[in-house]
Amino acid sequence: MVAELLGLSTTGKHHPLEHPPLLLVGCSGGPDSLALAAVTAFFATRGEVRVGAVVVDHQMQPDSAGVAARTAEQLRGLGLDPVQVRTVDLEHDGGGPEAAARSARFGALDAAARELGAATVLLGHTMDDQAESVLLGLARGSGTRSLAGMRARRGLYARPFLKLRRDETLAICRALELEPWHDPANSDGSYLRVRVRHNVLPFLAAELGPAVTESLARSAAILGHDADLLDELADAEFGRIAQVLPADGADPMEVSLPEETLRGLAPALRMRVLAKSVVVLGGLQPSQERLGAAEALLERKGSAGPVQMAGKVSAYRISRRQAVPQEGTGYGKLVLRRSV
């Protein structure tokens, strides 16, 4: 799985490179990511890649620094090099602690990849994680992209274990005599994902059959292709109609979308263009509820906003009668702006 995803030889014929690319494993010390680190370390012995790791300390648990240090030591013992420990501070921006941790974690992984010149960052998500993501998307009434779950390869990130079950990563750790860390948060029923893992999925397996996890993961794979096409079309529409300010290389502060053109898009594209506008401004991926509230501004009924989106981004409507410095008078548009 790792070799196929990364384009490495699976025939037994190795092709050592003078300057092999660096792969980084994002490792929490848990069974999934530790097993991934051990499997990936094997490929480093063939000379086709170099393998390092990044351990992100979210400071969310007692002795998190000690856990990170012990994980780093175990990774170095497996032969991974370089191994970095990065401590992050969580910025709670309305999305909850899990969203804050995820944002901080990917920020740390992105920074490490840039500094070390890594070609790929590997993540240890399994088929069980994928099934949980699909159920969470259904429970939250999310759209196609959420129901598509996690992609095996997306940009810098790869997930070689999406076809493995969680029990198999535990078996790898036992076979290699590794000592994974078991995050107590994974047993905390206050988290919706934990309740899905320990209550909902076992119930569905008992009622619908043990293959329910595989079925949910297969649905995610099918929806992923649909979501990719819609995202590609929406990106093209965003590039065609959106005015991003400032346009001089500085961080964007505002996205303007012409109302009539936006209203004329198919709903699936219109919602994605709105969501992309929020993300371009540094906000979080907005919920369907927030997107619907922003879309309602196009109906020209009631308030002209602002509508607060996820993160420090708000949406409001500028009427055709209102003077707009960038466009002159007589122009109606939907504006999304990031607050400082």
As beta bridge partners, residue 324 has 328
CA distance 309 to 334: 13
Q: How far is CA 229 from CA 218, 232, 235, in A?
A: 18, 5, 10
Of 13, 19, 83, residue with least CA distance to 46: 13
CB atoms under 10 Å from CB of 39, counted, come to 23
Q: Confirm whether residue 31 is marked as ligand binding.
A: yes
Q: Confirm whether residue 33 is marked as ligand binding.
A: yes
Q: Confirm whether residue 29 is marked as ligand binding.
A: yes
What number of CA atoms fall less than 13 Å from residue 11's CA on the CB side?
Answer: 5
Is beta strand 153-154 parallel, antiparallel or unpaired with respect to 157-158?
Answer: antiparallel
Q: Confirm whether residue 190 is marked as ligand binding.
A: no
CA distance 72 to 66: 10
Q: Confirm whether residue 66 is marked as ligand binding.
A: no
- Please provide the size of the chain in residues: 340
Q: Which residues are annotated as a binding site for ATP?
A: 28-33
Q: Which residues are annotated as a binding site?
A: 28-33
